[in-house]
C-alpha cells in the first residue's frame, strides 16, 4: 500500500509547507466540492487545470480521494 507524503516528503514541499494545500484549506470550504465529505485529514487539493505550478486559488479545489481520482482519470470535468 502506498504511503502518504506529507511535509518534507511531499513533492510540493516549499519553505516548510505544501503552499497550495495551506492556501486551499484556509480559503475554500473544507468539504469535497462534489459530495460534501468533510474529514479534513482525508481531503485532497486538486489543480483544476492539471498544472501543479498554477497555485492560484481559482485553480484549486478540495475533493475527497474518490472524486480526486475521477478527475485525474477524466471521468469528471470542470
Low-confidence ranges of the chain (pLDDT < 50): 1-4, 16-17
Residue 32: predicted pLDDT: 98
Residue 2: predicted pLDDT: 45
> What is the spatial distance between Cα 4 and Cα 29, in angstroms, rounded to a whole number?
22
CB 45 within 8 Å of CB 20: yes
3-class state of residue 60 by DSSP: strand
> What is the spatial distance between Cα 25 and Cα 38, in angstroms, rounded to a whole number?
12
What are the cell numbers at 63? 475533493
Residue 3: predicted pLDDT: 47
Residue 14: predicted pLDDT: 55
Residue 19: predicted pLDDT: 82
Q: What angle do CA 63, 5, 75 make, to 5 degrees?
A: 35
Amino acid at each position: 500500500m502506498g504511503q502518504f507524503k506529507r511535509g518534507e516528503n511531499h513533492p510540493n514541499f516549499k519553505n516548510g509547507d505544501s503552499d497550495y494545500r495551506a492556501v486551499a484549506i484556509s480559503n475554500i470550504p473544507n468539504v469535497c466540492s462534489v459530495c460534501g465529505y468533510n474529514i479534513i485529514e482525508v481531503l485532497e487539493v486538486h489543480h483544476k487545470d492539471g498544472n501543479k505550478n498554477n497555485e492560484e486559488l481559482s485553480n484549486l479545489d478540495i475533493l475527497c480521494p474518490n472524486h480526486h481520482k475521477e478527475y485525474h482519470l477524466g471521468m469528471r470535468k470542470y
